[in-house]
């Protein structure tokens, strides 16, 4: 026990020392640690600043950051040297960097717990991101001349700056607005268009403006005309492969994976005109349709066989996800993300799992012009495909409910020594460069969580479901099955947050313009 205690204290010390190094590096640059996705949502981070940033500068002093980490870790991390001060993005990078290097410490979850435990220290904490305090801050930032009135063109430029269609504001008002009218309109747009994620964009803008000054807005046209309809691309063959594994009868059984792919298949058939579909589940008698590794690999070959430009392909996997040691060490954590076929429970790894490298090889072989959408409702799925452009979510302010079950499968004992070796290697050793799927391909991936996280298998509406699949299909329904990838992803985020799930979904694709493409060319 004493040896374990000494080891524990040494790990905390390592964590604290690296935190200080990362923070101090940030003090002299815009964040040398900012090479990964954020693991805390802007709304949660802003609440942290409202708790600690009492002088309302938009930055936390080193001492304030130290106070927070001491409380989160339950250990004195030591003092932050100098006069370093960190804005919201930099604090997010510190938290994310610590979490990626020491995932077992659950730093993001503990930070959120700290926020929830200390909300009473923040003024108006129960009002949410669009509360009176934030709306007053926003209006003061935008009201350049202090007249108490906001010019409509300046408001349009603000919307364009944060990536929200200015037409939404134009349809509400074409006249100058006082603070009350502006607040009412902003809140109405937030309710009417949840897919644009206005809350997070507003709080991010507020915090950045407080810390670094208001950004210069680019000129915009008066948004009188209807925007052009998103480009429709092709009308070729549609084919889908759906894989749901409940690991029936095993110690690792799940309850919602087969329901996920059944629901997804119904939506694809009824609203997107997919007819050529294959479903692999482990509850059927036909052995060729049981999701073993051999059958999954054969079915992936079936999915892409004969694909030509204009074809629309779809792939969903719901089941356990995991990580296995990566011999090439090109992953930042030394591990490959992997899918867990039904027969991997009793067979050796990595031979009986499917790694992200195997999936990337399939995608890179696709002919140019073939479009494929992939959904991974499993653990450690953030970069299940290595794509160049991404949208990601921060975790909601909530806890992991005891009624939820993780879709994580621990690697077998035979590979655990290599897992430990990956976890204890030099924290600052740079990973090898990684190849990503080519920009000339059209690939979209929606993942249930980040690489270091687990996805939930939960009871929702009386039925066992995957949290991602439930939120995603519900969002499609709310958007009448006609939306962009960005829009359905943003609404999925709100639904996951609303249920209190702690997982962070991700949307990735091969090029920036694909984020605003119509999901599956539009449904009905």
Lowest mean pLDDT among 27-31, 56-60, 135-139: 27-31
Asked if 42-123 and 132-212 have one fold, the answer is yes
CATH entry, 42-123, from 1.10.3470, 1.10.238, 2.60.40, 3.30.70? 1.10.238
Does position 432 have pLDDT exceeding 70, yes or no?
A: no
Stretch 326-339: mean pLDDT, rounded?
67
Q: Judge whether 320 counts as a catalytic residue.
A: yes
- Give me the pLDDT at residue 503, please: 76
Does position 49 have pLDDT exceeding 70, yes or no?
A: yes
- Give me the pLDDT at residue 236, please: 85
Stretch 378-387: mean pLDDT, rounded?
59
Interval 83-131: pLDDT, tens: 688 899 998 888 888 877 777 777 888 888 888 888 888 766 667 889 9
The beta strands (E) that lie in 47-114 are given as 60-61, 85-86
Stretch 52-70: mean pLDDT, rounded?
84
- Give me the pLDDT at residue 96, please: 82
Does position 11 have pLDDT exceeding 50, yes or no?
A: no
Lowest mean pLDDT among 223-227, 362-366, 421-425: 421-425
Q: What is the pTM of this model?
A: 0.67
What is the C-alpha separation between 259 and 244, in angstroms, rounded? 8
Backbone angles phi, psi at 518, to 5 degrees: -65, 130
Which two tokens mark 344? 């991997």
In the 8-state DSSP scheme, what is residue 288? G
- Give me the pLDDT at residue 4, please: 39
First to last CA, the chain: 62
Does position 7 have pLDDT exceeding 80, yes or no?
A: no
Which two tokens mark 436? 């990503």
Backbone angles phi, psi at 362, to 5 degrees: -65, -45
- Give me the pLDDT at residue 421, please: 42
In the 8-state DSSP scheme, what is residue 242? E
What is the C-alpha separation between 407 and 466, in angstroms, rounded? 9
Catalytic residue among 33, 257, 378, 379: 379
Q: Other CB atoms closer than 10 Å to residue 391's CB: what's the count?
A: 18
Secondary structure (DSSP) of 139-171 = HHHH-TT-SSEE-HHHHHHHHHHHT--HHHHHT
Interval 139-185: pLDDT, tens: 999 998 899 999 888 899 999 999 888 888 888 888 899 999 999 99
The radius of gyration of the chain from alpha carbons, rounded to an integer in Å, stands at: 24
Lowest mean pLDDT among 45-59, 161-175, 432-446, 464-478: 432-446
Interval 217-276: pLDDT, tens: 887 777 765 555 445 555 589 999 999 999 999 988 999 999 999 999 999 999 999 999
Secondary structure (DSSP) of 158-226 = HHHHHT--HHHHHTT-SS-EEHHHHHHHHHHHHHH-GGG-HHHHHHHHHHHHHHH-PPPPPP-----SP
Does position 292 have pLDDT exceeding 90, yes or no?
A: yes
Q: Judge whether 271 counts as a catalytic residue.
A: no
What is the C-alpha separation between 331 and 34, in angstroms, rounded? 17
Bond before 350 cis per omega within 30 degrees: yes
CATH entry, 132-212, from 1.10.238.10, 3.40.50.620, 3.30.1330.20, 1.10.10.10? 1.10.238.10
Label residue 505 by pLDDT band (50, 70, 90): confident
Label residue 23 by pLDDT band (50, 70, 90): very low
Q: Residue ranges per domain, the chain?
A: 42-123, 132-212, 238-427+434-516
Round the average pLDDT of the chain to a whole number and report it.
Answer: 79
Lowest mean pLDDT among 47-61, 220-234, 390-404, 439-453: 390-404
Interval 181-212: pLDDT, tens: 999 999 999 988 887 889 999 999 999 999 99
Three-state DSSP class for residue 389: strand
Asked if residue 47 lies in contact with residue 125, where contact means CB atoms within 8 angstroms, the answer is yes
Does position 8 have pLDDT exceeding 50, yes or no?
A: no
Label residue 330 by pLDDT band (50, 70, 90): low
Q: C-alpha distances in angstroms, 464 versus 229, 315, 383, 471, 506?
A: 37, 21, 25, 13, 22
Catalytic residue among 99, 271, 320, 404: 320
Asked if residue 22 lies in contact with residue 94, where contact means CB atoms within 8 angstroms, the answer is yes
Which among 195, 201, 196, 228 has a CA at the least distance from the CA of 46? 201
Label residue 10 by pLDDT band (50, 70, 90): very low
CATH topology of domain 238-427+434-516: Rossmann fold (3.40.50)
Label residue 38 by pLDDT band (50, 70, 90): low
- Give me the pLDDT at residue 180, please: 95
- Give me the pLDDT at residue 404, please: 55
């Amino acid at each position: 026990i004493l040896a374990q205690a000494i080891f524990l204290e040494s790990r905390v010390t390592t964590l604290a020392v690296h935190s200080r190094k990362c923070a101090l590096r940030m003090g002299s640059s815009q964040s040398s640690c900012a090479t990964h996705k954020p693991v805390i949502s802007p709304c949660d981070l802003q609440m942290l600043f409202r708790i600690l940033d009492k002088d309302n500068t938009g930055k936390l002093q080193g001492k304030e950051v130290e106070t927070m980490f001491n409380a989160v870790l339950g250990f004195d991390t030591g003092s932050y040297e100098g006069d370093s001060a960190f804005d919201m993005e930099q604090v997010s990078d510190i938290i994310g960097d610590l979490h990626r290097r020491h995932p077992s410490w659950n730093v993001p979850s503990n930070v959120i717990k700290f926020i929830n435990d200390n909300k009473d220290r923040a003024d108006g904490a129960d009002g949410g991101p669009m509360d009176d305090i934030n709306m007053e801050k926003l209006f003061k930032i935008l009201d350049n001349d202090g007249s108490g009135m906001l010019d409509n063109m300046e408001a349009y430029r603000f919307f364009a700056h944060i990536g929200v269609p200015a037409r939404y504001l134009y349809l509400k008002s074409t006249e100058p607005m006082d603070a009350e009218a502006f607040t009412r309109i902003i809140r109405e747009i937030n309710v009417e268009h949840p897919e644009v994620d206005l809350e997070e964009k507003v709080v991010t803008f507020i915090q950045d403006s407080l810390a670094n000054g208001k950004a210069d807005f680019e000129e915009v046209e008066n948004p009188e005309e209807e925007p052009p309809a998103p480009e429709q691309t092709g009308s070729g063959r549609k084919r889908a492969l759906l894989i749901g594994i409940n690991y029936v009868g095993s110690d690792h059984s799940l309850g919602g994976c087969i329901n996920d792919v059944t629901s997804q298949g119904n939506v694809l058939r009824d609203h997107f005109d997919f007819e050529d579909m294959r479903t692999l589940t482990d509850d059927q008698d036909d052995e060729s349709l049981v999701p073993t590794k051999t059958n999954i690999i054969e079915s992936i070959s079936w999915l892409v066989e004969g694909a030509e430009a204009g074809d629309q392909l779809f792939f969903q996997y719901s089941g356990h996800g995991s990580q296995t040691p990566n011999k090439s060490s090109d992953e930042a954590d030394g591990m490959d993300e992997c899918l867990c076929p039904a027969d991997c429970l009793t067979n050796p790894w990595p031979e009986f799992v499917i790694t992200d490298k195997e999936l990337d090889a399939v995608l890179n072989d696709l002919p140019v012009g073939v479009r494929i959408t992939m959904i991974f409702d499993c653990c450690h799925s953030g970069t299940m495909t290595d794509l160049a452009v991404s949208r990601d979510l921060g975790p909601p302010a909530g806890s992991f409910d005891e009624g939820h079950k993780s879709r994580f499968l621990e690697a077998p004992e035979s590979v655990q020594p290599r897992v430990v070796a990956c976890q204890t290697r030099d924290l600052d050793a740079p990973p090898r460069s990684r190849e990503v799927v080519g920009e000339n391909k059209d690939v979209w991936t929606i993942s249930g969580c980040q690489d270091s996280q687990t996805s939930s298998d939960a009871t929702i509406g009386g039925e066992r479901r995957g949290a991602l699949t439930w939120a995603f299909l519900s969002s499609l329904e709310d958007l009448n099955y006609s939306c962009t990838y960005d829009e359905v992803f943003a609404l999925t985020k709100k639904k996951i947050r609303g249920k209190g799930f702690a997982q962070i979904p991700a949307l990735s694709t091969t090029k920036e313009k694909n984020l605003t493409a119509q999901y599956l060319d539009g449904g009905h």
